[in-house]
Chains A and B, each alone.
Chain A
Amino acid sequence: DTAVSQTPKYLVTQMGNDKSIKCEQNLGHDTMYWYKQDSKKFLKIMFSYNNKELIINETVPNRFSPKSPDKAHLNLHINSLELGDSAVYFCASSQWGGEVNGYTFGSGTRLTVV
Chain B
Amino acid sequence: AQSVTQPDIHITVSEGASLELRCNYSYGATPYLFWYVQSPGQGLQLLLKYFSGDTLVQGIKGFEAEFKRSQSSFNLRKPSVHWSDAAEYFCASFTGGGNKLTFGTGTQLKVEL
Contacts and interface: CB of A to CB of B under 8 A. Distances in A.
Interface of A: 4, 31, 33, 40-45, 48, 50, 55-56, 90, 92, 94, 96-108
Contacts, number: 64
B61 interface: no
Contacts of B92: 102
Given A42-B105, A43-B103, A55-B99, A105 B32 contact: no
Interface of B is mostly: strand
Contact of B49 (A48, A101, A106, A107): A101
* Interface range, B side: 20 to 34
Contacts of B42: 107-108
Given A55-B99, A98-B99, A104 B46 contact: yes
Nearest to A55: B99
Nearest to A58: B100
Contacts of B108: 41
A48 B99 contact: yes
Contacts of A33: 101
B94 interface: yes
Given A41-B106, A42-B105, A42-B106, A99 B43 contact: no
Given A45-B101, A96-B99, A90 B44 contact: yes
Contact of A48 (B44, B51, B88, B100): B100
B34 A102 contact: yes
A2 to B, nearest CB: 10
A109 to B, nearest CB: 10
Interface of B: 32, 34, 36, 38, 42-46, 49, 51, 88, 90, 92, 94, 98-103, 105-106, 108
Contacts of B32: 99-100
A43 B15 CA distance: 28
5 contacts: A43-B44, A43-B103, A55-B99, A99-B99, A100-B49
Given A43-B90, A108-B43, A99 B100 contact: no
A48 to B, nearest CB: 7
A101 B51 CA distance: 10
